[in-house]
Structure 1
Amino acid sequence: MLIFLLRRLMQACFVMVIISVISFSIQDKLGDPVQQMVAMTVSPEERNKLRNELGLNDGFFVQYWRFAKGAVQGDLGTSYYYKEPTLDVILEKLPATLELALCAIIIVILVATPCGVLAAIKPKHILSRLLMVISSIGLSVPIFIIAILMVYIFSIELNMVPSFGRGQTTEVFGLWESGLVTKDGLKHLLLPSLSLAIALMPIFVRLIRAEMMEVLQSEYIRFAWSKGLSAPRIYFVHALKNTMLPVITVGGIQAGTLVAYTILTETIFQWPGMGFLFMDAVSRVDTPLVSAYLIVVGGIFVITNTLVDLIYGLVNPTVRLASHGL
């Protein structure tokens, strides 16, 4: 276990260095931040003076070395727009994104698991066939189309839930502002989290169905039937446990991807999270904030993948974790 963790830590450091280089190198491609910071009447001399003060006229390697030294100490730069450390700005928006992603994952688990099991147990049942048709359609529909339809149906036509904003929030344990503990916050959370869940659900329904149908044909399941075990125990204890191994792997990747998916969802629903912050940073050419966002998201991916490997070994103790670190 220790060797595995050390290998994963080395891999994580290497991946983060690559991410930092890529995220820093695209800054010049976003535009001139000075143009966004000053008025049109400012002279070229004053603009160039500001560029020198910000270090924008230095060479790439000089700028990156300065950035890397600060990043090692937890300083990812200062936002041009907010005039605050970029990491502080991102961490302020992080709870909203994590709450959105967490609720979407819970919905996916509660809905996709029984649907996938049902489709595997009774593949020829009309309900199973209907689930497969719906999941096929769901895979081909972009997430922004789903979000726009949700707003049109439930907010505009039915006027059931609000379509934008985070709603009322309350401080939780003195650490962050949360909408999960207020009725208004939950109503605002419903549509964006449901949109994310609907976008991910077809993948898991089809994956659980395919894996469980394969597991149900294995010898130990036949042996369990011959022992006279009950159907629920065979399906939900013996079969489902081994079905979840590849699901956990895909789920871990999708959980990290979920943070990236929230960019579109947060923009449509005006959800004040990291994704909405990133789009604002791009439009304002706030390059330090854009780079910091990409690094934080990359870190979330690395941490998620490491946790997936650990959980994979807990679900199936026969898996050698060391082999996954190669």
Structure 2
Amino acid sequence: MISFLAKRIMQAVAVVLATASMVFFAVFIIGDPAQLLYSQNASAAEVEAARRYLGLDLPLYQQYFNFMGGLLHGDLGRSFVYGKPALGVILQRLPATLELAFASVVLAVVVGLPLGLYCGLNPRTIRSRLIMAVSALGVSLPTFWIGIIIMLAFAVNLRLLPTGGRGNTLTVLGVPWSFLTIDGLRHLLLPAASLALWQASLILRLTRAGTEEVLRQDYVRFARAKGIAPGRILWVHVLKNVLAPVVTMVGLSLGGTIAFSIVTESIFSWPGAGKLLIDSIYAFDRPIVVAYLMLAVTIFVLINTFVDLIYAAIDPRVTLGAADSGS
């Protein structure tokens, strides 16, 4: 366990440093933020003063070393637009993104896992084939299109749910949460469903394939021959073996949803970190963009490590070393 965690920490540091370097130089060549922070009527002296204030007048290598030095101390710079530490601005928006991501993953598991088990246990019924056809559409359709369609259907035409925003929130330990209020839940449902459809379809198809494979195994046939109740076979022998790949998929989906729920947040005006990233790209707010990508990489590494630990707990045959090499 200790060696596994130590190896993961070393990998995480290497990945973050490499990503930081690539992101810094990629963002640097886009343009000069000082020219965008002032109107076109600003004088050259005002623009140059802004460049000096932001440290953009320094040579590229010096800006890079200043950035990496700040990164090692947890300082990712100050936002050009908000005038505050970039990481702090992102962390203020992060709870909304975390809430949306976890809501979509929970919804996807609640829908996809039971339907996948049903289709795996009853593969030849008309209902199973219909469910699999719908899941094929869920995997194929782009998320932004799904978001627009369900907004038009349930918010614009039927007027059952709000079109956007986060609604009323309840603050717990200084953090506002939407799911704790009825109005917040109504605002959360559509964007969460938009993100959950693709994930639920993948979970459904993965669970169905795993169930059919496990049912063909000798130990399941032996359990049936011994007269063990079908419910016990399902929960003890089938579900436990099916869950391992599903957990891996859910972990990766959660990381991707937290880091890149940008389109959905923009469509539904959800005030999360993804929408902040889009606004910062338009404004050339370089510290926000870099800090967001650094945070996304860190989240991916942490979730991947956590998934490996759960994988080993579910399947005792898998050691942490093997899980690490397979991820």
TM-score, normalised relative to structure 2: 0.96
After TM superposition, the structure 1 = structure 2 runs for residues 6-45 of structure 1, keeping only pairs within 5 Å, are: 6-45=6-45
2:69 match: 69
Residues in 2 aligned to 1:61 and 1:216: alpha-carbon distance in whole angstroms: 60
1:226 match: 225
Q: Deviation at 1:30?
A: 3.3
Residues in 2 aligned to 1:161 and 1:246: alpha-carbon distance in whole angstroms: 35
Q: Deviation at 1:125?
A: 0.6
Q: Deviation at 1:60?
A: 2.9
2:51–2:57: 8 Å Cα contact kept in structure 1?
A: yes
Cα-Cα RMSD? 1.3
1:111 matches 2:111: yes
After TM superposition, the structure 1 = structure 2 runs for residues 1-326 of structure 1, keeping only pairs within 5 Å, are: 1-172=1-172, 174-326=173-325
Q: Deviation at 1:323?
A: 2.9
2:105–2:250: 8 Å Cα contact kept in structure 1?
A: no
Q: Which runs of 5+ in 1 are unaligned?
A: none
SS in 2 for 1:23: helix
Q: Deviation at 1:233?
A: 1.5
Task: Work out the percentage of aligned pairs sharing the same amino acid.
Answer: 41
Q: Deviation at 1:66?
A: 0.7
Q: Deviation at 1:237?
A: 2.3
SS in 1 for 2:301: helix
Residues in 2 aligned to 1:243 and 1:67: alpha-carbon distance in whole angstroms: 45
Q: How many residue pairs were aligned?
A: 325
Deviates more, 1:65-74 or 1:104-113: 65-74
Residues in 1 aligned to 2:63 and 2:103: alpha-carbon distance in whole angstroms: 40
SS in 2 for 1:247: helix
AA paired with 2:211? M
2:34–2:50: 8 Å Cα contact kept in structure 1?
A: yes
1:120-158 superposed Cα distances (whole Å, 9 cap, x missing partner): 111101111011111111111100010001110001111
Residues in 2 aligned to 1:234 and 1:60: alpha-carbon distance in whole angstroms: 63
Residues in 1 aligned to 2:79 and 2:222: alpha-carbon distance in whole angstroms: 62
Residues in 2 aligned to 1:6 and 1:31: alpha-carbon distance in whole angstroms: 39
Residues in 2 aligned to 1:84 and 1:260: alpha-carbon distance in whole angstroms: 21
1:120–1:209: 8 Å Cα contact kept in structure 2?
A: yes
1:266-321 superposed Cα distances (whole Å, 9 cap, x missing partner): 00000000111001101111011011011111111010100010101111122110
Structure 1: which 4+ aligned runs deviate by more than 6 Å? none
SS in 2 for 1:161: coil
Q: Deviation at 1:43?
A: 2.1
1:176-199 superposed Cα distances (whole Å, 9 cap, x missing partner): 011111111111001000111012
SS in 2 for 1:159: coil
Residues in 1 aligned to 2:131 and 2:324: alpha-carbon distance in whole angstroms: 37
SS in 1 for 2:257: helix
Residues in 1 aligned to 2:323 and 2:62: alpha-carbon distance in whole angstroms: 37
AA paired with 2:149? L
Residues in 2 aligned to 1:2 and 1:261: alpha-carbon distance in whole angstroms: 31
AA paired with 1:150? I
Residues in 2 aligned to 1:30 and 1:164: alpha-carbon distance in whole angstroms: 31
1:30–1:287: 8 Å Cα contact kept in structure 2?
A: no
Residues in 1 aligned to 2:93 and 2:259: alpha-carbon distance in whole angstroms: 14
AA paired with 1:223? F
Residues in 2 aligned to 1:132 and 1:324: alpha-carbon distance in whole angstroms: 30
Residues in 1 aligned to 2:95 and 2:16: alpha-carbon distance in whole angstroms: 22
1:94–1:273: 8 Å Cα contact kept in structure 2?
A: yes
Deviates more, 1:246-255 or 1:274-283: 246-255
Q: Deviation at 1:52?
A: 2.6
In structure 2, relative to structure 1, the CA distance for the partners of 1:257 and 1:14 (3 Å cut) is same
SS in 2 for 1:325: helix
